[in-house]
Chains A and B, each alone.
Chain A
């Protein structure tokens, strides 16, 4: 199969002089697909022309400028070497705050680097500050750029059949129903002409949602080749430099009002988000964070001025914990810093500020409804698990020896099942709202139970849990159920929201499966009642000598699934007309009970379920090397009713590893001119078995009233370790006059803070205004 290779820009913002080379042969058609979308983006960023290959100016290192089709990857690489591009270097913009000065503009057609700005204001902020007993000012906090880097890179095979303009994709995109909405518009083909299939996917963590630019190039290359299938296998360096990173965010001029007991009454702050060179899934992140507006805390008054800017870095994508983790990290930093400033222990500070268990369902200041939770209980369990008192004692002793030991708490939320209506808060014209998922449950001709879902799992156990749900409905063993996962447009079970993302399968996917199974059961009952000449309420679903069956309690007569399927599919003359509507092939679309949020007030329920995580870490900063080392770690989780405990536990461990990696090892670093310095795994250093601590796991269950099973989505884990490790490092270093200003910390940053005194200096960053 011909392979696609690409030549990527090697300088930030290079201007190709040999334009004819730089333009891809594949896209040299009259229809150059522009990937920005009027429906996804509002002015001014809808003016951006986002081509899958750069046209005249490349905006970040790694941006593809040419595509080559060859018979093998090595030949494609040889050919790529023949492409000579002379770049003229322009002034790079690498910091979002600097970008907002608009001195060097990335997208001339937009005329500014500002993608979006909006103020989220609730309650009476000014009054709260007037009445505050304490006001804490925090000058700057910064959440770094990282990516959860799935182990399998992006892969696309595209085949554009010239006879009927049908495009077939086999790929690992993890939100295909979204991708086809972009692709159909920009390849100007009917959406029904695009078939997307996914098989097993080697991890995504949201990063594979945005590989549709490459999907577009492959399709066009196939078209140009007369319909041959074209395959693109991303290299790791391509992945690191040009697939997607998580959003980077800077928090400026934060002011926190507290009462005399240390209860936070208001927060005012300015947040600046960096979305890289092109807003692709963005500016959605400008509102997604507000799903967890107050985090786990009770404060009612807040004003957050939120701005997003483009910079000469890789575009961002919805990385695990998307947009919420940045905000939750910010809130946890605020809580720890305020606690320290006014002299309240970190655990006590949280207990005074948590939303209390009896307050659920709890409506946040911006109208989100937290379904259930018990944060104080989770704290209690986590403290027990880690041996809080013991560690406190040990910490005090070791501190006397000069050792830098910190104990940190991170409380966080994993909001699942989005209300896509929130997109209208950033783009009033967006034609999206609600959320839905489709499933199909049928008895096939020989009576096999087959379930299909519109998700594309990457090891989250969709097959297992979907089988469990259907088995429960039909009272049979899960082993008897075939689950068809992996997305396929031609299975006709998807909606425009189908895919695997945003912590929602347990709610949206399984609700769809449950609905389809119920529908099937209802039909089976009607049919069995006819065949067994009894009433529906006389019937029992069970497994007999001839496999799964429906039995009449009154007569003991039964019919197995083969018998039922036989009548409907190949023996239909025995069916009376009133039963002709029975198909035993039941499609069900589950729809989340959402309303469109109030766009002006930025008010409404944005997510259906709120799983919570409470982590505690004990961390030591080595006095000689400044290497931070985790001495102990516990993770307590609450995702409502647990459908499959080992799967939940596995997700918790996985998300914990991502968070620990992000906090201590994984950082997308750019130099002063925009070269990415971490473009291989050897430089980026994803967490390994050697630096992953043993995690002790605990959990509670507060069933969600918002899902049929009481379960909540929980795949993202709220990035709890990032908050927790920052808190532990903070605890270790408060007495050294240090404020943990950044979410990423390693020996270098800690050395520069503690010894060099260059960064993180508390006297420059934090000010307490004490009014009592």
Chain B
């Protein structure tokens, strides 16, 4: 183990704000977001790219931030759950999750919201199979998924035409 650990300067945009930070090469994106930038809405559930609690948008694509080094996000645009609300109002996807009882403990929810966001940005009216596939990488231990399916269908309805 080296005596001093090298740090690498990176620049990225997080929820629309430019940030310049220096990180250890081994720092994961999720660690930077949670510990470095205090965006604790992004969660960690597994560390092995299974559960999707750490899902964020990186340049518009839903990625698992536990499986990406912070240095890989140099110059990237990141959206976390904190960046979803619009003018202080919950995003329609967030509202749909609330109205459909699409969450219980809520630990999986930030990741699911961002996976849903990505799904609906490319597919305005997903069918059930497409919904299941889009969130296959997001584990929820509480809801049994049924109300999450409902929430995504409702979100699709509410965001139609946006």
Instruction: Using CB atoms and an 8 Å cutoff, list the residues of chain A in contact with chain B.
Output: 72, 74, 78, 81, 148-153, 200-203, 205, 235-237, 458-461, 646-647, 649-650, 652-658, 680-682, 685-686, 688-690, 692, 694-695
Contact = CB atoms under 8 A, between A and B. Distances in A.
B29 interface: no
B107 A152 contact: yes
A432 to B, nearest CB: 28
Interface of B: 1, 24, 26-27, 35, 43, 45-51, 53, 101, 103-108, 131-133, 135-149
B115 to A, nearest CB: 10
B1 A78 contact: yes
Given A236-B46, A236-B47, A681-B51, A657 B144 contact: yes
Given A203-B141, A657-B144, A150 B50 contact: no
Given A236-B45, A654-B143, A460 B24 contact: no
Given A151-B53, A650-B147, A653-B145, A686 B139 contact: yes
A653 B146 contact: yes
Contacts of B148: 689
A681 B105 contact: no
Nearest to B108: A151
A713 to B, nearest CB: 16
A695 B142 contact: no
B105 A151 contact: yes
Given A650-B147, A689-B136, A689-B148, A681 B50 contact: yes
B104 A682 contact: no
A152 B49 contact: no
A151 B45 contact: yes
A689 B138 contact: yes
Contacts of B147: 649-650, 653
A461 B143 CA distance: 12
Given A152-B105, A200-B105, A459-B103, A205 B141 contact: yes
Given A681-B50, A689-B138, A203 B105 contact: yes
Contact of A688 (B27, B53, B136): B136
A459 B142 contact: yes
A459 to B, nearest CB: 3
Contacts, number: 126
A682 B141 contact: no
19 contacts: A74-B26, A78-B1, A151-B142, A152-B45, A200-B105, A203-B104, A203-B141, A236-B46, A459-B106, A459-B142, A647-B101, A649-B101, A650-B144, A653-B143, A657-B145, A680-B46, A681-B50, A681-B51, A688-B137
Given A236-B47, A653-B144, A692-B144, A151 B139 contact: yes
B141 A201 contact: no
B144 A202 contact: no
B144 A656 contact: yes
B50 A460 contact: no
Task: Give the dominant DSSP class at A's interface.
Answer: loop
Given A152-B43, A650-B147, A203 B48 contact: no
A326 B35 CA distance: 42
Given A202-B105, A203-B142, A658-B144, 12 more contacts: A151-B53, A152-B45, A201-B105, A235-B47, A236-B46, A646-B101, A649-B101, A653-B146, A654-B142, A681-B46, A689-B132, A694-B146
B50 A695 contact: no
Contacts of A653: 143-147
A148 B105 contact: no
A265 B161 CA distance: 65
A458 B49 contact: no
Contact of A200 (B27, B101, B106, B142): B106
Which of A148, A459, A461: most chain B CB closer than 10 A?
A459
A650 B104 contact: yes
* Closest 3 pairs (CB-CB, A-B): A459-B104, A202-B107, A653-B144
B142 A458 contact: yes
A655 B143 CA distance: 8
Contacts of A682: 46, 48-50
Which of B24, B50, B147: most chain A CB closer than 10 A?
B50
B144 A151 contact: no
Contacts of B139: 151, 681, 686, 688
Which of B138, B139, B146, B148: most chain A CB closer than 10 A?
B146
Contacts of B108: 151
B104 A150 contact: no
Contact of B146 (A81, A153, A695): A695
B36 to A, nearest CB: 11
A18 to B, nearest CB: 20
